[in-house]
Amino acid sequence: MKSSKQIAEEILLEADVKIDGKRLWDIKVKDDNFYSRVLSGGSLALGESYMDGWWECRAIDKFIEKILKAKLNKKIISKDFILNLIKAKILNLQKKSRAHIVGEKHYDIGNNLYRNMLDKRMIYSCGYFKNAKILEKAQEDKLELICRKIKLKKGMTVLDIGCGWGGFAKYAAEKYKAKVLGITISKEQAKLAKEITKDLNVEIKVMDYRNMKDKFDRIVSIGMFEHVGHKNYREFFRVADRCLKDDGLFLLHTIGKNKSTSQTDPWVNKYIFPNGILPSANQITKAYEGIFRLEDWHNFGMHYNKTLLAWYKNFNKNWDKIKDNYDEQFRRMWNYYLLSFAGSFKSHNSQLWQIVFSKIDSQIDYESVR
């Protein structure tokens, strides 16, 4: 009978990963209980065992890329995966009363952490590296790209659903003289966003998107749709429709998956983005059908790999500035998060979409912008 180690070695070889190998993506196991733990616990156990220091890898992003390309994540299905799937099917995990959970768990863990990890504008979404080599330029180019895609003009009103720390609101108000309302479910984000935009024509509110009723010339949602949940996609688009003027444009910037699903990875759900779920193209199109007209769909998922690696570099370079507030397990958890996500984009398991919509009966003649 094969041992857990032998089984694990055979599975990993399918992804060209060796235990105690010398390549960047090979892993070094430091606790022999690792094998049975991961074989029974799947991706949750893989992440937790790394947090506990049971294994090391010089390039986790490349290791995860290999794992996903070989589809090894489909071979080991844990009980946590099944339980999460059942919960997601039965319950609305992203209903109003639960919307604050991800804010408290992820976005409220310390503005200083994000200040030392992100670019100077504190943009927590994919940069646009088409004409950029560094993160600062890539994020500025992304903001400019969004403004050009929605044909933003002086004096227009803009709703920013999921405004983060106010980076887009500040850019749109400063450069385009727009009037921006940014909403977030994170109290810490709102606090800093108000400070960052205090001298501009910007208002920041802590509120759920479903409570919004005012009309705007333009709407953007940048990196927030991942928290909406598949049971709420249709309502999300109805709210956007309700709040958009007849000649308006709506830009949705979201991570996407190649296949429809109703739940997320168990480790990500437990430690990083509780109740998060990535939409598929099919789920999005079904949700907006009859409400909006599709004007443009732009995929630049390969840019997210570069963005995440830049965040990883900043996080570790500045660790000494923030380590008094976090322990070593948190550092390992956060590195695993950033690098495993980078590997997911590098393997094309995840995508990044910017989608532009107009109202279903709009007479706008729209031309795509790149």
Task: Look at residue 332 and tell me whether its pLDDT is greater than 70.
Answer: yes
Q: What are phi and psi of 80, to 5 degrees?
A: -65, -40
pLDDT digits (tens, 9 = 90+) for 24-58: 999 999 999 999 999 989 999 999 999 999 999 99
CB neighbours of residue 161 within 10 Å: 24
* Exposure string over 169-196, b if 16+ CB within 10 A, otherwise e: bbbbbeebebbbbbbbbbebbbebbbeb
Task: Look at residue 93 and tell me whether its pLDDT is greater than 60.
Answer: no
Q: Please, are residues 107 and 186 in contact by the beta-carbon 8 Å criterion?
A: yes
- Residue predicted with more confidence, 82 or 312: 312
Residue ranges covered by each domain of the chain = 4-77, 96-359
C-alpha 37/C-alpha 50 separation (Å) is 11
Report the pLDDT averaged over residues 307-322. 98
Residues of the chain above pLDDT 70, percent = 92
Task: Look at residue 81 and tell me whether its pLDDT is greater than 50.
Answer: no
Task: Look at residue 80 and tell me whether its pLDDT is greater than 90.
Answer: no
Residue-level pLDDT at 88: 46
Task: Look at residue 86 and tell me whether its pLDDT is greater than 50.
Answer: no
Topology, domain 96-359: Rossmann fold (3.40.50)
pLDDT digits (tens, 9 = 90+) for 277-308: 999 999 999 999 999 999 999 999 999 999 99
Read off the pLDDT band of 102 (50, 70, 90): low
CA 134 → CA 6, 131, 143, 170, 268, distances in Å?
43, 10, 15, 21, 27
Residue-level pLDDT at 262: 78
- Whole-model pTM: value is 0.93
Read off the pLDDT band of 75 (50, 70, 90): low
* Exposure string over 325-361, b if 16+ CB within 10 A, otherwise e: eeeeebbbbbbbbbbbbbbbbbbebbbbbbbbbbbee
Residue-level pLDDT at 104: 75
Read off the pLDDT band of 105 (50, 70, 90): confident
